[in-house]
Amino acid sequence: MKAVNLLRTRIAYSETAFAELVLWQLPKPLPGSSHQFKYRLAYVVNGECVIRYDNESGKGDHRHYGETETRYRFVDPDRMIRDFQQDIERWDHENSHS
């Protein structure tokens, strides 16, 4: 099995903010991950990536929120997208300029 692209989309939230979601299913887990998905979810405001979920090879599942990076507990793609959307809502609420 080759890697299969499951999702590639860009969502405009305003003239200055958008989210980009990319998700692949892999034949085997990446080093550092226990699941068969490779992903990159990013929220960009005024040209700056302020939220990102990704799982680099060897680094595993993690999330960037502003300047802070933390481990992320991946359950499944649907849950991850919901968590990402909640972070976007939180960011927009905390940063009224978005």
For residue 98, pLDDT over 60 is answered with no
pLDDT of the residue at 58: 82
Weakest mean pLDDT among 18-27, 36-45, 89-98: 89-98
Residue 80's nearest CA partner among 98, 59, 95, 62 is 62
Number of domains in the chain: 1
pLDDT in tens, 62-85: 999 999 999 999 999 999 999 999
- Residue 54's H or E segment, with its range, is strand 48-54
Alpha-carbon distances, residue 48 vs 14, 24, 31, 82, 94 (angstroms): 14, 24, 28, 22, 16
pLDDT of the residue at 97: 53
Angle CA 47–3–19, to nearest 5: 20
- For residue 45, the enclosing domain spans 4-94
Query: What percentage of the chain reaches a pLDDT higher than 70?
Result: 98
Q: What is the mean pLDDT of the chain?
A: 94
